[in-house]
Amino acid sequence: MADGTKDTKSSNQMWGGRFASGPDAIMEEINASIGFDKKLFAQDIRGSIAHATMLAHQGIISAEDKDKIVHGLSTILSEIESGNFEFSRQLEDIHMNIEARLAALIGQAAGRLHTARSRNDQVALDFRLWVKEELQKTEAMLTNLIAAFLDRAEEHAESVMPGFTHLQTAQPVTFGHHCMAYVEMFGRDRSRVRHAIEHLDESPIGAAALAGTGYPIDRHMTAKALGFREPTRNSIDTVSDRDFAIEFLSIAAICGMHLSRLAEEIVIWSTPQFGFVRLSDAFSTGSSIMPQKKNPDAAELVRAKTGRINGSLIALLTIMKGLPLAYSKDMQEDKEQVFDAAESLELAIAAMTGMVRDMTVNTERMKAAAGSGYSTATDLADWLVREAGLPFRDAHHVTGRAVALAESKGCDLAELPLADLQTINPAITGKVYDVLTVEASVASRKSFGGTAPSEVRKQIAFWRARN
């Protein structure tokens, strides 16, 4: 304007700088969810068909109208699936986009579909159906990942490697046993997924806006038609609840944390310094400047995806934490978090399954590393307890002196001459060397759940039967 002030008619002075037009455009932009909730089109249509069918069955709408509605919805489904559907932001969300198109296709009858329902129970239904399918997909993907680990564990039930605590060599273990640790972790993730499916397996449709409805609907009928165990029991809770989404995100966060620890191990193991595994070309990349390099990018990205998933969990917990019952529009922000986390989790599980199946395990390097760092020191102490009758604390002390001696001579425990060992404790005999090898060390650890190959095979059989 000539006097230098801004024209406040077309854009707000305080916050309208970005917008060419007035607040309507801003309202539309902040309000619309079609950009992301179009992902729910198939669930929305399934839900509407079940609802219309129930309305007709209960005599709330006529059979003719129901037929028109169902036919129109099926047409819309194929339009969307074939990319011949124009989504409109003015129509805000997937529910209204579909309903508007239905009206264009079948006329007045379309207006009867929304009888005895609200977008509040509709969105709760669509989203639940979507999360349920995603959980089922996750369950199957975890089963594949577990199968990949079981195969590697079987192949390497006897291969020795150093076991670590504090990332310092601790005691020899078998690579099969290490693989089975991941089977346990992903097995727990999968059982969390199964529980979550059980928790969410209730149908929200029919809760209406929040109070239920005066129409004689049959919620058991729609629940059954949509594959739910039963309808939800409290209409207020039904439209307020996003626990199913938060549960999905927490499971994804825990599983992502497991995947990230695995990714970290693969990054470490595939360094030339460790050399325990070699990733296949399919799951690594080269460097544009250093020709010798083979980078574990896929593992690194899996490690990073965990950050995104954790972010989504915290975001949705924060969105929900201050909301009064029942529905508030804040809840519209639930979907992007779940969609993004689901995509990240799927990619991460798939990439890890591929990496685990494809990687080459260097058993020679693992074995050499397993024997270094005095990894059988505990076996020497245990031998002193068993064969020489020493209390464990004394045996620990004697072994410590043997390690110090070996260190000063620059050799392994098994390379110390018997005479040297006997200067530390005269009860030591030549038999002690039997327990100082890494193979003897792992074979001796037969306690339930221990690293002995015989135990690892039992764990594998247990999981094969379960998987």
When computed from its CA atoms, the radius of gyration of the chain, rounded to whole angstroms, is 31
* Least gap, CB of 339 to ligand ARG (angstroms): 12
- Of 244, 283, 251, 252, nearest to 346 by C-alpha is 252
For residues 71 and 110, give the distance between their C-alpha atoms in angstroms, rounded to a whole number. Answer: 11
DSSP string, 302-321: HHHHHHHHHHHHHHHHHHHH
* Least gap, CB of 162 to ligand ARG (angstroms): 52
Task: Give the up-direction half-sphere exposure of residue 123: CA atoms within 13 A in the CB hemisphere.
Answer: 28
Task: For residue 360, give the 3-state DSSP assignment.
Answer: strand
DSSP string, 82-108: TT-----STT-SHHHHHHHHHHHHHGG
Buried b (16+ CB within 10 A) or exposed e, 420-453: ebeebbeebeeebbebbbbebbbbbbeeeebbbb
For residues 237 and 207, give the distance between their C-alpha atoms in angstroms, rounded to a whole number. Answer: 9
Identify which of residues 48 and 310 has a Cβ nearer to ligand ARG in the complex.
48
* Least gap, CB of 92 to ligand ARG (angstroms): 7
**Interface residues with ligand ARG (CB under 6 A)?**
33, 37, 93, 119-120, 123, 327, 329, 331-332
Identify which of residues 146 and 205 has a Cβ nearer to ligand ARG in the complex.
205
* Least gap, CB of 211 to ligand ARG (angstroms): 13
* Least gap, CB of 335 to ligand ARG (angstroms): 6
Identify which of residues 245 and 456 has a Cβ nearer to ligand ARG in the complex.
245
- Of 128, 352, 148, nearest to 255 by C-alpha is 352
Give the active site residue among 166, 288, 408, 447. Answer: 166
* Least gap, CB of 96 to ligand ARG (angstroms): 8
* Least gap, CB of 116 to ligand ARG (angstroms): 16
For the packed helices 334-358 and 119-155, what is the interaxial angle rounded to 10 degrees?
Answer: 10
Identify which of residues 315 and 427 has a Cβ nearer to ligand ARG in the complex.
315
For residue 172, what are the CA distances in angstroms to 88, 383, 411, 422, 450?
62, 16, 18, 25, 11
Q: Distance from CA of residue 246 to its chain's centroid?
A: 13
Identify which of residues 38 and 365 has a Cβ nearer to ligand ARG in the complex.
38
Identify which of residues 37 and 202 has a Cβ nearer to ligand ARG in the complex.
37
Give the active site residue among 10, 88, 287, 372. Answer: 287
Q: Would you call 287 a catalytic residue per the annotation?
A: yes
Helix or strand run (H / E) with residue 405: helix 392-409
Which two structure tokens, joined as six digits, stand for 283?
């799951």
DSSP string, 262-284: HHHHHHHHTSTTT-SEE--GGG-
Task: Give the amino acid at 14.
Answer: M
* Least gap, CB of 207 to ligand ARG (angstroms): 12
Task: Give the up-direction half-sphere exposure of residue 159: CA atoms within 13 A in the CB hemisphere.
Answer: 19
Identify which of residues 130 and 149 has a Cβ nearer to ligand ARG in the complex.
130
DSSP string, 170-195: EEEEEHHHHHHHHHHHHHHHHHHHHH
Identify which of residues 37 and 189 has a Cβ nearer to ligand ARG in the complex.
37
Write the burial class of residue 17 (CB in 10 Å: 0-12 exposed, 13-18 middle, 19+ buried): exposed
Extract long-range pairs of 78-83: CB within 8 Å, 24+ residues apart: 80/38, 80/41
* Least gap, CB of 261 to ligand ARG (angstroms): 35
Identify which of residues 37 and 134 has a Cβ nearer to ligand ARG in the complex.
37
Catalytic residue numbers? 166, 287
